Structure 1
Amino acid sequence: MSNSSGVSRGDRNRNARLVRLRVLVPLSSAIVGIDLADNKQVVVVTDHDSKVLARRTFRCRAWDLGIALDWAAERATAKGFAGVTVACEPTGHRWRVLGQLAADRSMPFVCVQPMQTSWARRSEDLTFDKTDDKDAILIARLTAQLRCYVPEPVEETWGRLRHLGTRRERLIGEAVSQVQQMRDLLECVWPAALETANYPFRSRTWAAAMWVVVDRDNADFTRTRRLGLARFETAVRREITNRGGHKPCLRIVRKLFAALNNPTGVIAHRRGALERVQLLLEDWAENQRKLADTEARMTAVLDELELTALVTSISGISAVGAAAILAETGDPRRFSTARALVKHAGLAPREKLSGTFTGRTKLTGQGRPRLRLNAWRAVWGALQTNTAYAARYRHLTTRETNKLTPTQAQTAIAAAILRHMHAVITSGVAWDPVIATHGTRHHAANTKAA
């Protein structure tokens, strides 16, 4: 179908965004640009031509900036403006405080990306000068040009999910670090222990048996060997029960007991290194407990938002995985399109076209890194159980034209997961594999034929 107006879908979305921003940055209002810092806040009031109407430095904390907003409103009124629009960079937690102060005074509030400010600073006078006064003016100038955005609205439940998601990421990072430290130590002083299981750190039996060796016997292999295999199995079985399990894998237990006689490794460092392993195992177990508690809280928030049934209708997506993604996106309904959400994650392709030249298409890599990471993690489970995603992956990696590498295909599936989550949440309709594979038009045609 031809587009008689000559306006593309991207043009319409861009025009709609500019309309929304113009409501918040009307020509009848002055612009208050604020460069936030710890206890020094530079405030400038400008018109839409970036002419400075007033400037002042406030020696106060961010939560005391109410006096600065009142001062800026008085200066704007004195110059004939009907109101003010407050703008700043999203610096730490301070921009949230400023947004709340602006909302209390019914002042529109927008944010400017620090990257935009950095580019504008270089183009200002072709130098790398950076001062608080200059940054405040640049923030106001970019706002006047509508090169700003509306920050995510503050909502209690979604905000709680965001904080829990941040805690989960920290705990996962600590768990990975602890595992790597234990692996490095064991490779140095007792490498045979790592060969007793295919994936030792995923095995509850291996962890329990290692705990018996390094905690009960203080890494004294002679004492552990005196136990004998039968009593060693009993001790491991008792530890498994304490950890909430039922019975150990005796094959791993016997292999680890046999490894006590293996002399490979730096013997002189063995006792001290295994003492560190014991401490790391203790920290790791506590970390796993905290991680399980955090994930349970996240799924409870998902239930509170009444989204669990919708997001888990996507085959291969668990409630925890969906909660981790939504902790980074916030409410997906704030994105006008699914593609906007994909761009927010930095998973949208970046085209390079000029005349007859076509460059190599790559991902933008912008947006929220943790959102990309959580979407990437969701791919692995989805490809195992979701037939639509698995078929899409096979097609992308085996087609004759423009065949993708496995990593590129997995990235495409990650973007598809974000689009489908946006679709099911905004529409309130469960995921349909037919629509996911063929689109809504094919589904509507089949329904009409039936």
Structure 2
Amino acid sequence: MSNAIVGIDLAERKQMVVVVDHDSKVLARRTFRCRAWDLGAGLDWAAEHAARAGFAGVTVACEPTGHRWRVLGQLAADRGMAFVCVQPAMTAWSRRAEDLTSDKTDEKDAVLIARLTAQLRCYVPEPVDETWGRLRHLGARREHLIVGMGVRVRSPRSRSQITRIAATQERERNGCRAVSSAAGHTHSSNARICWTWATVGAAAILAETGDLTRFRTARAVVKHAGLAPREKQSGAFTGRTKITGHGRPALRLAAWRAVFAARHANPVHAARYQHLTSRDTNKLTPTQAEAAIAAAILRHLHAVVTTGQHWDAEIATHGRPKPSTISTAA
């Protein structure tokens, strides 16, 4: 016996719950006028209808938007129910693909979430423990301080205001240094093996990616950041290659900021940047070269974390040497 699928479209005070089988046939549907943390009765209602249909249990699915999905995940865990998420972008693309009208209603979205789950186009969200939660909080706090300092620098003020702003900026710089230092030491098992483009930069990236061991390949991390190249080629036509731009914008920003430290502190990345911007064939602009180095930083960080080995300049430049085969004479 398998589980029925409970698709839930979350909102502020209206939660749409549908129970479907693996063929997307709706077994029951109901609208609950409550907040997300009061949805326990809705999960119990869905479990009862799934049991009547002969299912052993239910798998709860929703979109990871806002904070409500974490509340729903906790409610499902308290009841021993499996919990998965469907990316909102996947839901939007599927909505356009199956209905040319692009209608968007809570009822249709809940069914669509359940259908995508039945097709295994979903994922199990990463559990956030105390360490990763602390690291993500510090990363968000550091971003807030950096943006605040930039806004104050660019705002035209009078001389007296500039004096007060200078004092405020100094306090914010000290706070940013303290937050960066704490972020660099929060996850010491990963931060201690990072290389010379700054432990703080690695911590800022890890605050957005979470545990890198959940990514099977380094390219998956690059795609997650939206830094993977997107080619356009058909027949004799070859378009301009750009980065996808999809994924996690905050991760892309953290990797891009790490490039500036890498260009000055890391000779491998500095040489790579010089080569990409000065070669005769397919010379890149400075912005394109920075995007390429940002993707390389993510790949290197994934290799360092997943293998547990220190960053090696020789391997980063030429790749891991292949084992030589020794032929024996007959």
TM-score where L is the length of structure 1: 0.69
- What does the per-residue CA deviation read over 1:81-131, in whole Å, with 9 as the maximum and x for residues that have no partner? 222111101121111111122222232211111122222333443224322
Select 2:293's aligned residue among 402, 406, 413. Answer: 413
Measure the CA separation in 2 of the matches of 1:445 and 1:389.
28
Aligned: 1:308 with 2:196: no
- 2:174 pairs with one of 289, 308, 327: 289
Residue pairs, 1:33-432, within 5 angstroms = 33-181=7-155, 184-185=156-157, 273-303=158-188, 306-311=189-194, 314-315=195-196, 317-432=197-312
CA distance in 2, matches of 1:288, 1:397: 33
- Which 5+ residue runs of structure 1 have no aligned equivalent? 1-26, 186-272
Work out the CA distance in 2 between the residues paired with 1:421 and 1:74.
46
Moved more, 373-382 or 57-66: 57-66
Aligned-pair CA distance for 1:310: 0.7
- In the superposition, relative to structure 1, how do residues 141 and 402 fare at CA in structure 2: closer, same or farther (>3 Å)? same
CA distance in 2, matches of 1:111, 1:361: 31
Change in Cα spacing, 1:354 to 1:48, as seen in structure 2 (3 Å) is farther
Q: As a proportion of its length, which structure holds more helix?
A: 1
Residue by residue, what CA displacement relative to the aligned partner does 1:204-262 show, whole Å, maximum 9, x if unpaired? Answer: xxxxxxxxxxxxxxxxxxxxxxxxxxxxxxxxxxxxxxxxxxxxxxxxxxxxxxxxxxx
Count of aligned pairs: 325
On the 8 A contact 2:227/2:245 being kept in 1, the answer is: yes
Indicate conservation of the 8 Å contact 2:131/2:187, yes or no. no
- Residue 310 of structure 1 aligns to a residue in which SS? coil
- Structure 1 residue 361 displacement after superposition: 1.4
SS at structure 1 position matched to 2:124: coil
Give, in whole Å, the separation in 2 of the partners of 1:398 and 1:179.
33
- 3-state SS of 1:342 partner: helix
Task: Give the superposition deviation at 1:445.
Answer: 4.9
- The 1-side partners of 2:88 and 2:32 are apart by 21
Structure 2 SS opposite 1:328: helix
The alignment yields a C-alpha RMSD, in angstroms, of 1.9
Percent of matched pairs sharing the same residue? 65
Q: Distance in 2 between matches of 1:308 and 1:118?
A: 37
Bigger CA radius of gyration:
1
Letter in 2 for 1:302: H
- Where structure 2 has 5 or more consecutive residues not aligned to the other structure, the ranges are 326-330
SS at match of 2:192: helix
Q: Given the superposition, is the C-alpha separation of residues 145 and 356 from structure 1 closer, same or farther in structure 2, using an over 3 Å criterion?
A: farther
| Post-superposition offset of 1:291 | 1.6
TM norm structure 2: 0.92
